[in-house]
Amino acid sequence: MTTHLIRFESAHLHVETDGAPEQPSLLLWPPGSSTARVWDHLIPKLSDLFFVVRIDLRGYGQSEVDELSEAQFTFDQYARDALFVLTELNIQATHVWSQSWGTRAAIVFCARNRHFVKSASLYAANLRLPDVAAQRLGTKQAADERASRGIEVTSPPTGFNQHRDAQAARLTASALRKFDLDGVIDELTMPILIGTGSHDPNLTSSRDIAARLNNARLVEFQHVGHNAILEHPELAIDTFLEFQDSLK
């Protein structure tokens, strides 16, 4: 792993890259309140095939902002940040993989940079405001199902939700309520994989998106709640890699 500290528009962005730079680029967008660490358990497989880019969004993890001005905490800002990072790394096109809250940011990034994005894997995609209580209930029900079937429990990566500045991290998450994703989803013209848990309330919206976009396919993850990469990482990455193989 190589770490980078990239200065852009009043922020220092903590960036991590893995894999050989000559491999296809893969930009990862983390679930809510998560840092680059959330992908740690998937990096060994991914870095064999991709030049993987992970960014602590401004305010998250090790990234820092000059001041806590709320205007900078938007999905459009995060999309600009990501594009600048990729440009600094001499990347001219990328695949995208996102999870849960990060899928909202990824949708905006893909809409704003659709000619730059080769494919998008949007896990737990949802155009509506989240039902957090239903997400928690679905995640518990899914965990009970996995336990009854003997599916191995994977501990979350160390430090996946630890932030240098807790107040900034709360502002980072607030971008969710500042953007109408329904207004841009039709701009996503790249091949799309939607992967959503069978116990995730986001599944209703995921089905709607898959029906709306001719370039999208939906995989419903059995025995999974709201966060496939943490709840059932083997299923999450195998599905992602199968999708990538189908694009060749």
Task: Write down the pLDDT at residue 137.
Answer: 96
d(CA 98, CA 107): 9
pLDDT higher than threshold 90 for residue 153: no
At residue 19, the 3 state secondary structure works out as coil
Query: What are the pLDDT digits (tens) for 100-126?
Result: 999 999 999 999 999 999 999 999 999
Residue from 102, 239, 240, 235 nearest 172 by CA: 102
Domain boundaries, the chain: 2-246
Residue 209 tokens read as 């998106």
Partners of 55 in beta bridges: 15
Instruction: Give me the mean pLDDT over the 73-82 stretch.
Output: 98
Per-residue model confidence (pLDDT) at position 222: 96
Residue 152's pLDDT band (cuts 50, 70, 90): confident
Given this model, what pLDDT does residue 233 score? 96
Other residues' Cβ atoms within 10 Å of the Cβ of residue 20: 11
Q: What percent of the chain has pLDDT over 70?
A: 100
- Please give the model's pTM, rounded to 2 decimal places: 0.97
Confidence at 67, pLDDT banded by 50, 70, 90 = very high
Listed residue (246, 195, 193) closest to 222, CA to CA: 195
Query: Which band of pLDDT confidence, cut at 50, 70 and 90, is reported for residue 154?
Result: confident
pLDDT-derived band at 231 (thresholds 50, 70, 90) equals very high
What are the pLDDT digits (tens) for 176-220? 999 999 999 999 999 999 999 999 999 999 999 999 999 999 999
CATH code reported for the domain at 2-246: 3.40.50.1820
In this prediction, residue 89 has a pLDDT band, given cuts at 50, 70 and 90, of very high
**Residue pointed to by tokens 């893995």:** 18
DSSP state of 91: -
Tell me the pLDDT band of 244, cut-offs 50, 70 and 90. Answer: very high
Would you give the DSSP letter of residue 100?
T
Average model confidence (pLDDT) across the chain: 96
Question: Closest Cα partner for 121 from 181, 192, 217, 186?
Answer: 192
Instruction: Find the helix or strand (DSSP H, E) in which 244 lies.
Output: helix 233-246
